[in-house]
Amino acid sequence: MSLGRAEPAARSKPGRSKSPRTMKTRHNLIAFAFLLPTMFMILVFNYYPAIAAFIYSFTDWNGFTTARYVGLKNFTEMFTTTVFSQAFLNLLWLTLVRVVVAISIPLFVAFLIYKVKNPRLQNIYRLMFVFPLVIPMMVVLLLWQFILSPDVGLINAILSAVGVPESSQPIWLGSPETALISLMLIGFPWVDGVALLIYLAGFQSIPRSLVEAATMDGAGGFRKLISIELPLVLSQVKLILILTIIGTLQGFQTQLVLTGGGPGYSTTVPGLVMYQEAMRNSRFGFACAIGVVLFILILGLTIFNNKYLKSSTEYGSE
């Protein structure tokens, strides 16, 4: 019996290997495909309204009829009327007060919590200050409206208890002399939960080796605070600073609910005027012009904050 000669098995040809550039392009296309829906939504609901507002700021438009181009008329009216002069002055005072409060009181409380050695006690203190974040803003404003009430309010009740006659007690939200100050009082003791968490995270991210080395070198608590701890949370201070400025420049809910901008124009801010011109007077072009000015202010302050308020100390992770 003869055996035939076995044929050698056919060698399988290796497939074509894809180049790194091809693989990278494919991965980028897949990532772009997943991002495309989100990018589309951002373009439609963020960028398009902003661009449209800029265009309509140069028009006279009531939201229904065809917009009529008026050039810089809206901006000229804005800067030549008394209401806007008072509104921007009120906004300046509110911004200054809220910035000082935001970069001082929450920072101080966060530092105190950071110094608590017991982790469980530290969590309890943190929860105490963060819990008010779950309360709706409208509830907070209505509560403060009750506190500031001239008839049944808590503040005037305290004044009566210490002997201040009723005729001398201020009408907190109803007097031009005290209305703006009353708005500044809202939120007492002004420990914002978000700012507190951001500051506390900054303190807790400081390498312990730096603090221990300073202690071994004989640095006291105040010296460590000034030379190590505060410089290393400057980036958090910058973040809170710009968030506070943006929130104050854009905000008008407090005035809308409590005072309506009055008495007179004593609590009016540009954001409230923008809302009233658009929703009540149907002057959407004029309202867009106000929005453009606020955008320019926010952009300028943000650029200034990022350019001139830089941390002088950098460190790596342990």
Q: What is the pLDDT along the chain (318 residues), one digit of tens a residue?
A: 444 455 555 454 555 556 777 888 888 888 888 999 999 999 999 999 999 999 999 999 998 889 999 999 999 999 898 899 999 999 999 999 999 999 999 999 999 999 998 889 999 999 999 888 899 999 999 999 999 998 888 999 999 999 888 888 899 999 999 999 999 999 888 899 999 999 999 999 988 888 888 888 888 888 888 888 899 999 999 999 999 999 999 999 999 999 999 899 999 999 999 999 999 999 999 999 999 999 999 999 888 888 776 654 444 444
Q: Identify whether 53 is part of a domain.
A: no
Report the pLDDT value the prediction gives residue 166, as an integer from 0 to 100: 84
CB 149 within 8 A of CB 142: no
Q: Identify whether 34 is part of a domain.
A: no
Report the pLDDT value the prediction gives residue 315, as an integer from 0 to 100: 45
CA nearest neighbour of 62 among 302, 257, 278: 278
CB atoms inside a 10 Å sphere around CB 246: 15
Q: Identify whether 10 is part of a domain.
A: no
Q: Identify whether 6 is part of a domain.
A: no
Q: Identify whether 225 is part of a domain.
A: yes
CA nearest neighbour of 54 among 75, 40, 38, 39: 75
CA 224 to CA 211: how far, in whole Å? 7
State the total domains in the chain.
1
CA 291 to CA 190: how far, in whole Å? 28
CB 74 within 8 A of CB 57: yes
Q: Identify whether 260 is part of a domain.
A: yes
CA of residue 304 relative to chain centroid, distance:
16
pTM (2 d.p.): 0.82
Domain hosting residue 85, numbered range: 68-308
Report the pLDDT value the prediction gives residue 31, as an integer from 0 to 100: 86
Report the pLDDT value the prediction gives residue 101, as an integer from 0 to 100: 95
CA 273 to CA 279: how far, in whole Å? 10
CA of residue 121 relative to chain centroid, distance:
29
Q: Identify whether 17 is part of a domain.
A: no
Q: What is the CATH number of the domain that holds 145?
A: 1.10.3720.10
What lies within 8 Å, CB to CB, of 302 at 6+ separation is 242, 245, 246
What lies within 8 Å, CB to CB, of 36 at 6+ separation is none
CB 287 within 8 A of CB 278: yes
Q: Identify whether 36 is part of a domain.
A: no
